[in-house]
Copies of this chain bind each other. A is one copy, B any other.
């Protein structure tokens, strides 16, 4: 069980790091900029979560292999020409796994620390979305979370509540985690595929 959670977390970190590095490269940044944006995208959400919940040490300080992995990725990304072939559309699936894993694990940590469902769902959404919002702000784009043509944060929010409800109804942590995570990944993929939005007309 912890192994699966940890593997998913690593997939999420890699996916978020790649999404950050792709944006950084499209802005013509040098290798340091590529590493910095990748780092912030992948680890920003978890850092905010740990600071707000006073959960020290911050998780990438405890899991040193994560920033080392991101550093290695930045080197590959900056100097290996083949990575230019990565297309934005390839990122959607791992990005959805990142969103799902970070949201559910953030919410789970908040519950473990004794917070209520509502607070835990807010912290789950923050963990899942803050890194990407920072990436877009630093790269001077309108953050994803504020764009009308996408649903993103609301899927994370709904997935956290589904996880709480399953936990309460099923009494099985592993099953609830899986359901919440799958919900976020599948709905996010469907939203991108079928162009689902919260609001269609200008208000």
User: Which residues in A have some Cβ–Cβ distance to B below 8 Å?
Assistant: 24-25, 27-33, 36-37, 47, 51-54, 56-58, 61, 64, 67-68, 78, 84, 115-116, 118-119, 122, 137-138, 140, 142-143, 145-148, 151-154, 157, 197-199, 202-203
Contact = CB atoms under 8 A, between A and B. Distances in A.
B153 A32 contact: yes
A74 B144 CA distance: 19
Q: Please list the 9 inter-chain residue pairs (A to B) with the smallest Cβ-Cβ separation, ordered nearest first.
A: A33-B146, A54-B56, A32-B153, A30-B148, A30-B198, A30-B199, A32-B154, A29-B146, A52-B58
Contacts of A32: 145, 151-154, 157, 198
B122 A67 contact: yes
B28 A61 contact: no
Contact of A146 (B57, B138, B157): B138
A115 to B, nearest CB: 6
Contacts of A145: 32-33, 36
A71 to B, nearest CB: 8
A159 B55 CA distance: 30
Contact of A31 (B37, B143, B198): B198
Given A52-B51, A119-B61, A145-B33, A28 B203 contact: yes
A146 B36 CA distance: 8
Contacts of A54: 54, 56-57
